[in-house]
Structure 1
Amino acid sequence: MSYAVVKSASGAIYALHQIALVTEEDAPTKHPLVKGVRQAAKRRIGLKLQNQKDPLDLDILQTGIVRYVPDLETCPLIYLVVAAMVGTMWTGFLRYKDMKFVWVELVNFFPTHMEALLTERKNDQFREGDVVYIARGTRRDTCPVALCEALISRARLSGSVNLFQGWDGRAARFRPLEAQLNGRHMEYPQCRREVHKFLQRTTGMSEAEVPKKWGTQSLRSGGATVAARKVSFRLFQQHGAWHTASSAHRYILDPTETRLSVTRALGY
């Protein structure tokens, strides 16, 4: 059992007492004894992340997009959805819960970039929304902005509908060209499955190997790892909507050369 499990269980108990209209002072999870147990669990179990996946490299992302979408006009529509989704999640540092709130009517395209207003985001405490800015890429065939434009055009999406929609997976298995979007946001199991299939086709790794190395969070951490070396930390943290610096650092994987720079600076 991890500390995260202990903490979430405490949160669930607190929520149930709120529903029962128990006052803040009488809430059992606020009792000093319970707080002491939580602190003891933190010291004993630790805060180590479980099953942390690797960040996804840019080369793998772009290779996969080109293989999935060799032509924007003739490729299966569901492949275009996957390519646009993984590209947007990688460049926008989006979680799955961010991705499902990308609405077509709240996405605006400009000559230089795309702006997507997320009506809900994990750390948006006041529910005011958050705008994600994604610049147009130097390569049109892998640019997430161009992919999203093509998706909206081909699927004829408009108004209050999700940009990244799901579909009937059983029907698409045998006739991907005929698969139709279902009008609802892609559910998490399908999102995870499609990301794994995308990476299997790109890397040639087996169905069992890919989930051990990458997950949906690999898209967010992949973009974050690259950007962290090139932009100010303030912009980096704002783009990813991290509430604290410690949360943001979890998504950055420093390469060997960067780690070696510490001891090389010692001059021994």
Structure 2
Amino acid sequence: MVLSSGVWEELRKIKDPLLQQLVLKLKDTIMHSRADSTIEKYTRAFLRWVQWAESRDSFGKLPVNPLHFALYLQHLGSLTQSRSAVEEATNAVSWFSQTAGYTSISQDPFVKMALAGLQRSLSKPRRKKEPVSPVMLKEMVDSLDQDPSLSDVRAVAIAFIAFYGFLRFDEVVKLRCCDVRFLSDHMVIKIVSSKTDQYRQGDEVVIARSGSSLCPVGRLELYCRMARVDSQSAECLFRGIVKSKNGERLRSLGSLSYSRIREILMGKIKALGYDPADYGTHSFRSGGASLAANRGVPDRLFKKHGRWKSESAKDGYIKDSLSARLDVSRKLLF
């Protein structure tokens, strides 16, 4: 719908076959200006604006009328009582406006004032999620039966690589069987694309082997053996599991969704006796990052391991230990 209005109406008038091919390639290029997960989120938010605008007789979808959009933001803020919902709508509609060649709606002075007012009125104290601790990982391993199911082994493997690799859930979802290489003293995980890799250059995460029952390499190896993972396959590493009278086996195709992985790991946390409301999708990444920071891992290596582009983004994941925080004042004492 968006790539058929605005500048695209003009481009459709081009008759030259060579230029028509370039138009098709340009569409693809424009749609790759954001990460896939971001575009999916923006699309949902934009379609909500479209649905609301279409229910009003005199409201057009694109180009966006600033006064109409300000009214929509007021409606959305009153309906959801959510600052993030209002901000997401503004970002989404602005991006789609730009893809059609129109000015970003977020730059309109009136919309800016409406957004700023809603941000202030809808602001709430943020309850930051707790990081997962090494103790919790040990409890996950200890909770496994002597002959554990593939489902349980899968959950523990995901938890360990997310923690020790500082992986986001969307990175875990996209992992393929061929993206993992096991070596004598470590493993290499290839990250084909991620939220911070806007230009899709790819990256690699290396995780050391310890040889203990809490070794992240060993945990993933156990899953791969039990699931009979083909290390050369381009299929997703973590897939659904089929249960039968003969036990469990990995589905041959498909992948686990972001929400399903979250459901699996929050279920594990609840089974250990913790409140899942205290933890979130970034708790494993945050847990590994906090442990590394409190153990004095050099900042440059720390940042590279987590694929952070800025100091502020990295620091947002760290929960300093009480000992580290007390160390500040200890250094001031006479």
Partner residue in 2 for 1:30: 107
Map 1:34-45 onto structure 2 (within 5 A).
34-35=111-112, 38=115
**Relative contact order, higher structure (CA 8 A, sep 6+):** 1
Aligned pair 1:215/2:280, yes or no? yes
What's the CA shift string for 1:215-260, capped at 9, x where partnerless?
Answer: 2321111111000122111111111112211111111111222222
The unaligned stretches of length 5 or more in structure 2 are 1-80
Partner residue in 2 for 1:13: 93
User: Which amino acid in the other structure matches residue 229 of structure 2?
Assistant: L
Measured in 2, the distance between the counterparts of 1:226 and 1:217 equals 14
Q: For the Cα contact (< 8 Å) 1:166–1:190, is it kept in 2?
A: no
Partner residue in 1 for 2:11: none
Q: For the Cα contact (< 8 Å) 2:161–2:216, is it kept in 1?
A: yes
How far is the alpha carbon of 1:167 from its aligned partner?
3.0
Match among 106, 109, 112 for residue 185 of structure 2: 112
Structure index of larger Rg: 2
Measured in 1, the distance between the counterparts of 2:114 and 2:206 equals 43
How far is the alpha carbon of 1:86 from its aligned partner?
0.5
How far is the alpha carbon of 1:45 from its aligned partner?
5.8
Measured in 2, the distance between the counterparts of 1:242 and 1:7 equals 23
Partner residue in 1 for 2:260: 190
Match among 246, 252, 256 for residue 312 of structure 2: 246
Aligned pair 1:60/2:136, yes or no? yes
What's the CA shift string for 1:24-62, capped at 9, x where partnerless?
Answer: xx332233444455556666666964x421111102102
What's the CA shift string for 1:128-177, capped at 9, x where partnerless?
Answer: 111111111241x2212112222222222220111122236xx69xx7x7
TM-score by length of 2: 0.67
Aligned pair 1:100/2:166, yes or no? no
Give the RMSD, CA atoms, in angstroms.
2.5
User: Which amino acid in the other structure matches residue 22 of structure 1?
Assistant: G
Q: For the Cα contact (< 8 Å) 2:189–2:206, is it kept in 1?
A: yes
Q: For the Cα contact (< 8 Å) 2:90–2:105, is it kept in 1?
A: no
1:132 aligned counterpart, secondary structure = strand
Q: How many residues align?
A: 250
Partner residue in 1 for 2:332: 266
The unaligned stretches of length 5 or more in structure 1 are none
Measured in 2, the distance between the counterparts of 1:147 and 1:261 equals 35
TM-score by length of 1: 0.82
Measured in 1, the distance between the counterparts of 2:120 and 2:196 equals 26
1:179 aligned counterpart, secondary structure = strand
Measured in 1, the distance between the counterparts of 2:315 and 2:270 equals 28
Match among 220, 229, 248 for residue 179 of structure 1: 248
Partner residue in 1 for 2:41: none
Distance 1:41 1:237, change over 3 A: farther
Partner residue in 2 for 1:151: 223
How far is the alpha carbon of 1:88 from its aligned partner?
0.5
How far is the alpha carbon of 1:110 from its aligned partner?
0.9
Aligned pair 1:88/2:165, yes or no? no
Distance 1:30 1:136, change over 3 A: same
Measured in 1, the distance between the counterparts of 2:117 and 2:315 equals 25
Partner residue in 2 for 1:142: 214
